[in-house]
Amino acid sequence: MKKLLIFVTIVAWMMTNGLTVDAQNVTTTRENNKITIVEETPTEEGTIVTTTIMDKDSIFVSGLFQNWELSIAAGPHMYLGENDWKVRKKAEMIAFPAIDIYLTKWVSPTFGFGIGSTTGRFKGLYQSNPSRWENNFVAANYQTGKLYYDKNSEPWGYQWIAEQRSWFTSLYALAHVDMINLFGGYNPNRVYGLDLYAGGGLMLGFNPGEVIPGVSFNAGLINRFRISDHISLTLGVRGAMIGDDFDGERFTQEPDQEHRAANFKMDGNIGVTAGINISLGGSRKWRTGQRTTRLIPKTVRDTVTIREPAVAPVPVGVVAVENQTDTLLVKQFPEVWFHVNFDVNKWEIKSRELVNLQAVADLIKSTPEIRYLICGYADKQTATPEHNQMLSEKRSQAVYDVLVEQFGINPAQLVRDAKGGVDYMFYNEKELSRCVMITAIQE
């Protein structure tokens, strides 16, 4: 338990510091009905700034088959009944395995609902008979017929304590809250997630020849560590309050009235799990709104030393002026690039990309001594190599035509190329590989 608390402290620090994938610094602002996410990623050439603007009410893709997640995990657990704590060593209370399966539908980046199931081994201890003179196995379910303590054993010499063993399964409905999105804002690049859930349902124990029903109230935490867009590793802790009838121990009785213990109204169960979370049907798929990417280049400074010789000869009584050193900013053109995005299987330029191309055209005009490469791409996962090559060529030609015909760029400053289908170019999103890159040619 102490180690678990240390782990929760660590992940809480991760939550407050907004750990993300690919982006070193992410800020989220909310104004009126807009949410703006700005991601800054340092590179050797400068800082890549990606700005995403989305409508607050439409960031969620609400289709029936979107935003589903399947979690499968397993781990040890302990059942906490009236007599289970009377084991010789606390480790004997641990049973393995307990297997958790959760299916969750997220109705927003923060809230979800779903169903869950836990199946595992059950083991415990029970008082077989309140009398010290008889040995009858009574007052419990899942009896094995094996004594754990007899009447001559210490420290429970006045009781018969026997073993319980079986399997159980439970089915329950759950409500989920993504605590990181709730307090830190939605961020699609975040590595760490913390899912808090609670609910209740039916618990079934398998006694020889019969099924024992019970009720349970469940709650837990699932720590998610994203390793790809569709897979996360999970580490969880969960607990349950279980109806007292489930294990069949309705009372704890000792031979003397002054030692008689009060009956617990509920039993308990606690466990830890490790497993995997899988996105189904576009799970965690949110509308990302209008996204723009730009590079803020590093400032290039050169130090220039200017030496002005003293005037000679120097008249008597006049102090000579020492040589002077000054630092000037030498203008150098940095290595920059621009990204023009396209829809799948399209080469028409969207209106929002024309806004960026206007800024690109102004820069090209201001640097007539520089030539620029216009290179088209497609994502290799979507089509055949031949089709992707055609798409990349048409996209490159479309950007070239806009710069020359609409914005008046000198064709001599432009060079066209096409690379066909490529792997993920940015942020592990194939959509961003459907693009044209405009790059300054260093000659």
Whether the CB-CB separation of 414 and 400 falls below 8 Å is answered with: yes
State yes or no: pLDDT of 416 exceeds 60.
Answer: yes
Give the separation between CA 199 and CA 208, rounded to whole angstroms.
29
Q: According to CATH, what is the number of the domain 2-23+55-280? A: 2.40.160.20
The beta strands (E) that lie in 56-110 are given as 68-80, 94-106
Selection from 386, 367, 393, 388 nearest residue 378 by Cα: 388
| pLDDT 10s digits, 212-247 | 999 999 999 999 999 987 899 999 999 999 988 788
Q: Are 314 and 113 in contact (CB under 8 A)?
A: no
Cα separation, 161 vs 173, in Å, equals: 36
Q: Which tokens hold the place of 226?
A: 């994203």
pTM equals 0.55
Q: Which pLDDT tens digit goes with each residue over 169-208?
A: 999 999 999 999 888 877 767 889 999 999 999 999 998 8
Residue from 363, 340, 364 nearest 352 by CA: 340
How many residues make up the chain in this entry? 443
The beta strand positions in 380-434, using DSSP E, are 414-422
Higher pLDDT: 157 or 417? It is 417
Write the CB contacts of 251 (distance below 8 Å, at least 6 apart in sequence). Answer: 82, 139, 263
Q: How many helices (H) and strands (E) does the chain have?
A: 4, 17
pLDDT band at residue 356, thresholds of 50, 70 and 90? confident
Query: What kind of fold does domain 335-440 have according to CATH?
Result: 60s Ribosomal Protein L30; Chain: A; (3.30.1330)
153-173 pLDDT, tens digit per residue, is 767 666 788 899 999 999 999
One-letter amino acid for residue 368 of the chain: P
The residue extents of the domains of the chain are 2-23+55-280, 335-440
> If we measure between CA atoms, which residue out of 408, 415, 428 comes closest to residue 376?
415
